[in-house]
Every structure is written in C-alpha cells, then in structure tokens.
C-alpha cells in the first residue's frame, strides 16, 4: 500500500511537471481507433494483399474487426514483441497503413493528444517519411501535412529525420535536403535507426551535410548488433547523441569518448526491456546512471511499449531509488541536451 501511494504521488508530480521528450517517434503513438480506421481503409483484395495471406485469414474470423481493434481487444496482436527484429517489422507494418493524407492526420492528432496529456512543453519528434510515401503521398506531401498540422497547434516541437540504416546515401542526403527546405526551421536533427545494414561510415557525407546545414546528429546503436568498431563511428560522424547504446557502458574507450565529446545517451527503459535487449534491467540502468555523461529519458514508441514519459521517469525513480531532486535534474538535462 505504501509503495502504491508513493507511485501515485510521484507519478502525479512527474505528470504535472513541464517536461520534454527528445526520443519520441511519429507513429509511435497510435490510438486503437486510428489503427482500426487505417485497417478498414484496406478492403477486399487490397486488404488481403497488404496484410499477407496468413494475417488476412487470421482476421477473417472476426465479424467486426473495427470494433475489436478500436476497443483494444486484439491489442497484443500488434504490440507484443519477442525481439528487436520483431518490433521493427510490426512498427513498419502498422505505420505503412497510414499512407494517405487523411490517415496521416489521424497519427498526427494522436501524437498531439499525447503531448498535451503528458504536459510535454518541448518535444523532438523523429519522422520516418519513407514509411508513409510508398503509395498515395509524395515526400513533399508528407512534410507539408506535418508543417500545416503542427503550426496550427500551440505546442513546441521540432523534428528529427530518421534516414534508416538501409537507405542509400544519395537518397538520404536528398531526403535531408528536402526536409530542410520543407520543414521551414522546424528541422533540428538527423538519426539513423532500424536494422543494422553494414558499415555505418558510409554515412559520413550525410552527417557532414547535416553539420553544414546546422542540425544535430544522432544514431541508434546497440539494438541489433554489438559495439565492436564503433569508436570510429562516434568520432567520424561527430555525434551529438546516441540513442539506446545498449552495452556501451561496458567499453571504457567508448565511455571516455562520450565524456570527452559531451555526447548524451538517450535511454528508453520500456523499449529496451520489451525488446528483450536487457537481461537485468535494474542493474543495467543503475550502472548507466553512475556514468559521468548526460542521460536523457525518452518514451520512444509509447503505444508499442505500453508506456508514457511519465511512466519512464517513474521507473527510473523506483528502480534506482532516485530522489525527487534527481528526477528534476533528469528533466532539465533533457531540455539542454540537443541544441
């Protein structure tokens, strides 16, 4: 009972405290009704082709798919993961459903609602444009919908473009160039996410271009591969932040580089635990917070990992026995981490 009362009190404090979320993916917030609507837009042969035969046959037994999804009754079919690879497949599958301006607007509205409900006064939202522009939208259409939507609301956001590690270098540079023109001052950074696709040093021209146009640089590391040889990646890509960085605390050399270069580490507890990337979560996060580097707590993909930025901060408070003062320090670190 005492712990429940403590959780209620601290969570209420965290929820109502103005805060930022710097690791938050567009499409990581999707309401059941938005998901149901997107599914229902795929009808007949198109629906079967999009889902694939196995999934299509599985859902045929439901007589009212919309209500089942909208009520969250088959939530686990979409948001339960056995591995990082499984998560990436699910995230891509779901977000590719939102392939029209009308459906994209639903995702944007879900995200805006989350930001307001969580009292997030500043958010940096990671966009993956190539997920949504395979069929009915161009990349320019995508960016213009984003700009129009977020300029019309009273929330403070900027955007990071995820070029994905599988994107050819020339396409990645063109994407960032277009984003810089279309987002009209709302572009603040680039990142490389998704599955590892080999030598990351091939992206040096992309990160040099990012430096030239004055935006920050980050990369998702440690989610699906070891950290061998990443000293050159951190050094030559001139990183400002590292997302996740699973296992990075085990490398003295990498830690020394991060300290020397003041590189912040983004930590998303629920994401890493759900993807089974960490065997002993409490001990792992305790080790991270002993390090002399800036730590940023992010919510990553809240719908997929059944979390919020408030829950992530409560987790840190609980498992690491932080003081309320330390929680406020975490909130302030995040605000200053990505200039």
CATH assignment of the domain containing 307: 3.20.20.140
Q: What is the model's pLDDT at position 48?
A: 59
Of 58-62, 109-113, 223-227, the one with minimum mean pLDDT is 58-62
Distance CA 205, CA 322 (A): 41
Question: Does some domain include residue 68?
Answer: no
Percentage of the chain with pLDDT > 70? 79
Question: Does some domain include residue 72?
Answer: no
Question: Does some domain include residue 60?
Answer: no
Mean per-residue pLDDT, 122-134: 93
Q: What is the model's pLDDT at position 286?
A: 76
Contacts of 271 (CB under 8 A, 6+ apart): 244, 300, 301, 304, 305, 307
Cβ–Cβ under 8 Å, residues 163 and 175: yes
Of 16-30, 40-54, 317-331, the one with minimum mean pLDDT is 40-54
Whole-Å CA distances, 211 to 240, 258, 338: 11, 18, 14
Q: What is the model's pLDDT at position 175?
A: 97
Domain enclosing residue 298, as ranges: 2-31+90-337
Higher pLDDT, 304 or 248: 304
Question: Which of 94, 77, 81 lies closest to 39, judged by CA?
Answer: 94
Mean per-residue pLDDT, 156-171: 93
Distance CA 11, CA 314 (A): 6
Higher pLDDT, 13 or 241: 241
For residue 249, the 8-state DSSP code is G
Cβ–Cβ under 8 Å, residues 217 and 190: yes
Question: Does some domain include residue 143?
Answer: yes
Digit-coded pLDDT (tens) for 231-256: 888 888 889 999 988 877 777 788 88
Distance CA 100, CA 108 (A): 12
Question: Does some domain include residue 52?
Answer: no
Residue 57 backbone dihedrals phi, psi, to 5 degrees: -65, -35
Top-ranked range on mean pLDDT: pick from 10-24, 140-154, 256-270, 323-337: 140-154
Q: What is the model's pLDDT at position 172?
A: 95
Mean residue pLDDT of the chain comes to: 81
| Per-residue pLDDT band at 296 (split at 50, 70, 90) | confident
Question: Does some domain include residue 61?
Answer: no
> What is the value of pTM for the model shown?
0.86
Mean per-residue pLDDT, 181-207: 88
Distance CA 307, CA 302 (A): 5
Higher pLDDT, 3 or 99: 99
User: Is the confidence at residue 1, as pLDDT, over 50?
Assistant: no
Token pair recorded at residue 181: 């023109």
Contacts of 165 (CB under 8 A, 6+ apart): 192, 193, 194, 195, 196, 197, 200
Q: What is the model's pLDDT at position 282?
A: 76
Question: Does some domain include residue 55?
Answer: no
Distance CA 78, CA 81 (A): 8
Token pair recorded at residue 301: 């993909």
Mean per-residue pLDDT, 207-235: 83
Cβ–Cβ under 8 Å, residues 205 and 169: yes
Higher pLDDT, 111 or 10: 111
Number of structural domains, the chain?
A: 1
Question: Does some domain include residue 189?
Answer: yes
Sign of CA dihedral 13, 16, 19, 22: positive
Distance CA 194, CA 37 (A): 26
Distance CA 61, CA 69 (A): 13
Digit-coded pLDDT (tens) for 91-102: 888 898 899 999
Provide the CA 213 distance to its chain's centre, in angstroms. 23
Mean per-residue pLDDT, 122-140: 91
């Amino acid at each position: 009972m005492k712990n429940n009362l403590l959780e209620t009190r601290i969570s209420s404090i965290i929820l109502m405290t103005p805060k930022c979320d710097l690791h938050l993916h567009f499409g990581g917030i999707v309401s059941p009704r938005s998901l149901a609507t997107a599914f229902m837009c795929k009808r007949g042969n198109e629906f079967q082709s999009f889902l694939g035969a196995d999934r299509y046959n599985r859902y045929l037994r439901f007589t009212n798919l919309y209500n089942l999804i909208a009520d969250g009754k088959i939530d686990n079919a979409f948001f339960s993961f056995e591995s990082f690879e499984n998560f990436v497949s699910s995230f891509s599958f779901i977000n590719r459903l939102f392939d029209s301006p009308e459906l994209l607007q639903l995702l944007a509205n879900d995200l805006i609602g989350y930001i307001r409900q969580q009292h997030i006064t500043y958010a940096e939202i990671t966009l993956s444009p190539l997920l949504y522009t395979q069929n009915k939208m161009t990349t320019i259409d995508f960016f213009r919908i984003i700009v129009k939507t977020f300029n019309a609301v009273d929330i403070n956001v900027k955007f990071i473009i995820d070029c994905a590690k599988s994107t050819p270098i020339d396409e990645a540079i063109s994407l960032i160039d277009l984003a810089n023109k279309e987002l009209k001052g709302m572009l603040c950074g680039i990142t490389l996410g998704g599955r590892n696709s080999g030598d990351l040093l091939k992206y040096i021209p992309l990160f040099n271009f990012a430096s030239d146009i004055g935006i920050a640089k980050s990369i998702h590391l440690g989610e699906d591969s070891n950290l061998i040889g990443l000293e050159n990646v951190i050094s030559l890509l001139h990183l400002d932040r590292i997302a996740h960085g699973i296992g990075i605390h085990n490398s003295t050399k990498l830690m020394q580089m991060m300290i020397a270069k003041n590189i912040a580490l983004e930590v998303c507890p629920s994401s890493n635990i759900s993807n089974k990337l960490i065997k002993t979560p409490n001990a792992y996060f305790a080790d991270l917070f002993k390090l002399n580097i800036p730590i940023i707590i992010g919510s990553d993909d809240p719908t997929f990992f059944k979390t919020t930025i408030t829950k992530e901060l409560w987790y840190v408070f609980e498992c690491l026995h932080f003081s309320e003062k330390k929680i406020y320090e975490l909130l302030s670190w995040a605000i200053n981490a990505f200039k």
